[in-house]
């Protein structure tokens, strides 16, 4: 995650937009803009105002304009943005002009759903390989791809130039899988297992955790309830230490 730049490189201003240093918050919103733009393009719109696009993406219009201004000035005052041009710009910046290959590890419950998901293909990615450790699963064909054994992971990742690894194994196996991905030269990982991964510098990890999302929602539920029901002492029947709820997570302990 080192954000340094070699001070020797004199920042030669090529004709290419040359990958400006986008704020991370902006990067996280660009995909949303892109999706909204594709919708507009399908509906035959050729231009769109920041107000419109912002609404479609669910953000403030000033924020959207500032985000887009970081890519360069591709809007026309008094008119708006050219939809097709903007799509190309954002896709270029996001690196979607070359379709990235994805390896999916862990073809269980969730993995099956992901393997069969058409959203990969339609949004710029290609699943190039599936892996699992279960001998029963290895060899199975899903969507035209044969599940390989995870022992082949590093080798295949290198051979097929896998760009992104998706981990859908139990948490206990996730770190091992991540290590193998890294060994295979993968520098981007999307982790669905509820655990923290340790990876070398230069490798990006993003995590999607269903339970985290639900618990955040739960907090707000709790808050809303305590605001409306406080005067009547509604939910405040606290039960300070109600034993232990749930706990025992089958997904083994932290191995450190």
Ligand X SMILES: NC(=O)c1ccc[n+]([C@@H]2O[C@H](COP(=O)([O-])OP(=O)(O)OC[C@H]3O[C@@H](n4cnc5c(N)ncnc54)[C@H](O)[C@@H]3O)[C@@H](O)[C@H]2O)c1
Partner DNA sequence: AAGCGCTTGTGAAGACACGCACAAATCGCG
Partner DNA sequence: CGCGATTTGTGCGTGTCTTCACAAGCGCTT
Q: Is residue 163 packed enough to be buried (19+ CB in 10 Å), middle (13-18) or exposed (0-12)?
A: buried
By CB under 7 A, residue 62 contacts DNA: yes
Contact of residue 122 among a second copy, DNA, ligand X, none (CB under 5-8 Å per partner type): a second copy
CB 49 to DNA: min, Å: 4
* C-alpha to C-alpha distance for 156 and 145, rounded to whole angstroms: 14
Whether 38 contacts 53, CB under 8 Å: no
User: Contact with ligand X (CB under 6 A): which of 150, 157, 166, 197?
Assistant: 150
Assess 223 for contact with DNA (CB under 7 A): no
Does position 31 interact with ligand X (CB under 6 A)? The reply is no
Does 100 bind DNA (CB under 7 A)? Our answer is: no
Which stretch in 84-92, 121-129, 163-171, 240-248 sits in contact with ligand X by CB under 6 A? Answer: 163-171
Piece of the chain touching DNA by CB under 7 A; list 67-75, 179-187, 190-198, 227-235: 67-75
In three-state secondary structure terms, 226 is helix
Residues 6+ apart with CB under 8 A from 17: 71, 72, 89, 92, 93
Q: Name which of residues 54 to 113 contact ligand X (CB under 6 A).
A: 105-111, 113
List the one residue from 31, 38, 45, 63 that touches DNA (CB under 7 A): 63
When asked if residue 230 is in the footprint of ligand X (CB under 6 A), the reply is no
Residue with tokens 């030669």: 12
Q: Tell me the closest approach of the beta carbon of residue 46 to ligand X, in angstroms.
A: 26
Nearer to a second copy, 62 or 196 (CB): 196
Within residues 16-35, the interface with DNA by CB under 7 A covers: 23-26
Burial 22-54 (b: 16+ CB within 10 A, else e): beeebeebbebbbebbeebeeeeeebbbbebbb
Is residue 123 within 8 A of residue 95, CB to CB? The reply is: no
- Please state the closest distance from residue 81 (CB atom) to DNA, in A: 6
Per CB under 6 A, the list member of 20, 27, 60, 134 interacting with ligand X is 134
CA nearest 71: which of 27, 32, 38? 27
244 binds ligand X (CB under 6 A): no
Binding DNA (rule: CB under 7 A), the pick from 38, 45, 65, 100 is 65
Cβ-based nearer residue to ligand X, 16 or 246: 246
Which residues are CB-contacts of 58 (< 8 A; sequence separation ≥ 6)?
32
Please give the Cα distance from 177 to 150 (Å, whole number).
8
Instruction: Give backbone dihedrals phi and psi of 253, rounded to 5 degrees, phi first.
Output: -80, 170
List of residues contacting ligand X (CB under 6 A): 105-111, 113-114, 117, 119, 131-134, 137, 150, 168-171, 173, 176-177, 192-194, 210
């Amino acid at each position: 995650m080192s954000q340094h730049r070699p001070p020797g490189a004199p920042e030669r201003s090529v004709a290419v937009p040359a990958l400006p240093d986008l704020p991370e918050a902006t990067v996280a919103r660009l995909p949303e803009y892109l999706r909204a733009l594709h919708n507009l393009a399908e509906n035959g719109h050729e231009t769109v105002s920041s107000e419109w696009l912002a609404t479609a993406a669910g953000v403030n219009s000033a924020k959207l304009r500032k985000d887009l201004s970081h890519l360069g000035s591709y809007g026309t005052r008094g008119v708006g943005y050219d939809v097709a041009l903007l799509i190309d710009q954002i896709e270029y910046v996001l690196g979607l002009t070359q379709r990235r290959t994805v390896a999916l590890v862990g073809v269980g419950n969730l993995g099956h759903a992901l393997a069969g998901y058409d959203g990969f293909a339609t949004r710029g990615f290609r699943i190039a390989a599936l892996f699992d450790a279960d001998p029963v699963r290895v060899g199975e064909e899903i969507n035209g791809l044969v599940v390989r054994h995870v022992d082949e992971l590093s080798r295949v990742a290198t051979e097929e130039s896998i760009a992104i690894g998706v981990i859908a194994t139990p948490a206990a196996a996730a770190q091992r899988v991540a290590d193998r991905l890294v060994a295979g030269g993968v520098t981007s990982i999307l982790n669905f297992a509820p655990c923290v991964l340790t990876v070398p510098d230069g490798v990006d990890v993003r995590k999607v955790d269903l339970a985290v999302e639900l618990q955040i929602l739960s907090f707000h539920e709790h808050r809303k309830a305590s605001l409306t029901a406080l005067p009547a002492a509604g939910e405040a029947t606290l039960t300070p230490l109600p034993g232990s709820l749930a706990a025992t997570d089958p997904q083994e302990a932290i191995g450190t």
